[in-house]
Amino acid sequence: MNLLENELGDLKTELMEMTSMVKEQMEKTIKAFNTFDHQLAEEVVSNEKRVNGYELNIDSKCEHILALFSPVAIDLRFVLASIKMVSDLERIGDNAEGISSYIARFEKPFDKELLERLRFKEMTEAVLEMLDILVDSFEADNTKLVRTVFAKDDFLDEINFSANQVLAEYFRTCDDPEKITQAIYLLTMIRKFERTGDYITNIAEEIIFYVKAKVLKHKKNKA
């Protein structure tokens, strides 16, 4: 193994660790939401600085590899993809922190009936499945597996879109200010889960880019 291979191996290991950490942050967030566990939500908020730490380290490692090793071909694609992936991973971490900070803020559990109408469970399960796929496919450079996240992202988009109508109806009929506030926060959370799906999709595109040299960005039919 040459020096560059060692450096790239370290970079991948660190990116894998960051991906796993971000996945764990999102898992804890969803668990904190489902169990209304303030302590767990606060743990996610506090762990966010570790996610940021990974981002700084990986950025610096990429800069170092580009400056000292002038990588080409798949090596260059991997470093370029890493720079973009790390940024998307950090944003997923931000979303987990954002959702957790909302959970920690509320004293009463969320309205179960509204959650059901918003298809919250389906949405959070899809996000976790996408993160599982991301971790497995990234580790094995499995582009066939990673492509399966695109359909799941469409599913998240559909739930996000339907949430608008559900909440419009809810606001028309609800006269409890506390419930309305809660519903507004739920809508923000749904947006954050939907954005998380977009970030996972971006990362999947980067995996396909560095493994297969194919650019899927801005293409409609990705699957």
Partner 1 sequence: MKIEANNVRVSYGSEQVLKGITMSIKKNTVTAFIGPSGCGKSTFLRCFNRMNDLIETCKVEGEIMIDESDIYHPKVNINELRKSVGMVFQKPNPFPKSIFENVAYGLRINGVTNKKYIEEKVEWAIKQAALWDEVKDKLKKSAFALSGGQQQRLCIARALAVEPSILLMDEPASALDPISTTKIEELIYNLKASYTIIIVTHNMQQATRTSDKTAFFYMGDLIEYDDTRTLFTNPKKQKTQNYITGRFG
CB of 71 to partner 1, least distance (A): 7
Q: What number of residues does the chain have?
A: 223
**Going by C-beta distance under 8 Å and a sequence separation of 6 or more, which residues neighbour residue 212?**
143
Q: Which stretch binds partner 1 (CB under 8 A): 74-82, 169-177, 183-191, 192-200?
A: 74-82
* CA dihedral of residues 24, 30, 32, 36 (deg, nearest 10): 180
CB 204 within 8 A of CB 85: no
Nearer to partner 1 among residue 50 and residue 217 (C-beta): 217
Cα separation, 90 vs 103, whole angstroms? 20
CB of 48 to partner 1, least distance (A): 35
Closest separation in Å from C-beta 81 to partner 1 = 13
Q: At what angle do helices 120-140 and 177-212 cross, to 10 degrees?
A: 20
Site string for partner 1, 75-94 (x = CB under 8 A): xxx-----------------
Which residues within the stretch 204-223 sit at the binding site for partner 1 (CB under 8 A)? 213
Regarding 67 and contact with partner 1 (CB under 8 A), the answer is no
Q: Which stretch binds partner 1 (CB under 8 A): 1-9, 129-137, 145-153, 168-176?
A: 1-9
CB 122 within 8 A of CB 60: no
Rounded Cα distance between 134 and 147, Å, is 10
Q: Which is nearer to partner 1, 6 or 181 (CB)?
A: 6
Q: Is 109 left (phi over 0), alpha (psi -120 to 50) or beta?
A: beta
C-beta closer to partner 1: residue 1 or 168: 1
Kindly state the smallest distance separating residue 73's Cβ from partner 1, in Å: 5
Residue 14 vs 75, nearer CB to partner 1? 75
Name the CA radius of gyration of the chain, rounded: 19
Task: State in angstroms the smallest separation of the CB of 166 from partner 1.
Answer: 46
By CB under 8 A, tell whether 71 contacts partner 1. Answer: yes
Site residues (CB under 8 A) for partner 1?
Answer: 2, 4-5, 70-77, 213
